[in-house]
Amino acid sequence: MYIIHTFALIVLELTQITYSKPKKRFLLTDFEMTYVYCAYREYALELYKKLTKKYNMTLITDPKKLTFNYLKKAKPKIIFFPDWSWIIPSDIIKNFICVCFHESNLPKFRGGSPIQNQIIRGITKTKTTAFIMNDKLDSGDILLQKNLSLEGSLDDIFSRMKKNDYELIIKIIKGKIRKRKQTGIPTYFPRRKPEESELKNLNYSNLYIYNFIRMLADPYPNAFVKVGKKKIVFKLAKYDGKKIKFNGEII
C-alpha cells in the first residue's frame, strides 16, 4: 500500500507541474524588412520589378513624395537611389541609410551626367559604384563596385547597369560589403543642359560625332545640328570605324 500511495503522489505532483514552452525568437525575413527604392527611368523600373520578387520594396518616382515624415512611417532599413536626379533633403540623409549608385570610379567624375561626361572624353571602361550618401556631393564611403563598359548604345549600357545594380543591391541587403573611404583626387563635372546637345558643326572626328550621338540617345535630350531654320535630330548611331550610320528626324 505504501508503494502504491507513493506512486500516486508522484503522479499527482507531475500533473501539477506547468511546463513553459521556450520563447520563440521572431526574426524578420528579407521580405518582411522594408526597403525604399527611388528611381524613374525605364531600366531602373524594370530592376525594381525584379527586386520585388525577393524583397519588400516601396517605389518612389516623384521627388515630392520623398519626405522625412513619409520615411519615418515607412521605417525602411535602407533607401536605394539607383536612378535619381534630384537633391535629397539633408534630414533624410542624416536619419536613414541612403545608398546611391553612381556610374564612375569615384572619386573621379563626381556630379551630374557621369555617363556622358566620360563617353565624350573617350572613356570606355568605368565602374558602377555603390556608396553611402552624406552631405557632400558623391563623396560618401564606398560599399561595393563593379566594372561597367561604356561601349555600345545607351540601351546596352543601361542593360549592364541594371545587371550591376541588381547584384550590388542583393549583396548590400545580405551585408556582403567592403566599406572604405574614397581615395584619390576628386574630379567634378556639372549635369549637362539640353542646349549642350547641339553639334555646332560636323568638323569633328567621326569617332567624336558617334560618341556624341550615342551618349545622347533617348531618354536624354538628343544630339542635333542646326541647318538654316531646321534641326536634324540624331536618335541612334552606328560606327564601323569609317562611316557613321544614324537614325534621325528633321524638325
User: pLDDT digit string (tens) for 166-197?
Assistant: 999 999 999 999 999 999 999 999 999 999 99
SS (H, E, C) 2-65: HHHHHHHHHHHHHHHCCCCCCCCCCCCCCCCCEEEEECCCHHHHHHHHHHCCCCEEEEECCHHH
Q: With a cut of 80, say whether residue 27 has pLDDT above it.
A: no
The amino acid at 203: N
Task: Give the CA count within 13 Å in the CB-facing half-sphere of 153.
Answer: 12
- pTM here is 0.85
The least confident of 27-41, 97-111, 172-186 is: 27-41
Q: By the 8 A CB rule, do 87 and 69 touch?
A: no
Q: By the 8 A CB rule, do 156 and 125 touch?
A: no
CATH number corresponding to 194-250:
3.10.25.20
Crossing angle for the helix pair 42-51 and 154-173, nearest 10 degrees?
A: 30
CATH architecture of 34-189: 3-Layer(aba) Sandwich (3.40)
Average pLDDT of span 58-68: 97
Q: pLDDT-derived band of residue 8, with 50, 70 and 90 as boundaries? A: very low
Average pLDDT of span 201-225: 96
Spatial separation of the C-alpha atoms in residues 48 and 41, rounded to whole Å: 11
Average pLDDT of span 75-89: 96
The amino acid at 133: M
User: What ranges do the domains of the chain cover?
Assistant: 34-189, 194-250
Q: By the 8 A CB rule, do 148 and 126 touch?
A: yes
Q: Are strands 98-102 and 78-81 parallel, antiparallel or unpaired?
A: parallel
Q: With a cut of 90, say whether residue 11 has pLDDT above it.
A: no
The least confident of 32-36, 44-48, 111-115 is: 32-36
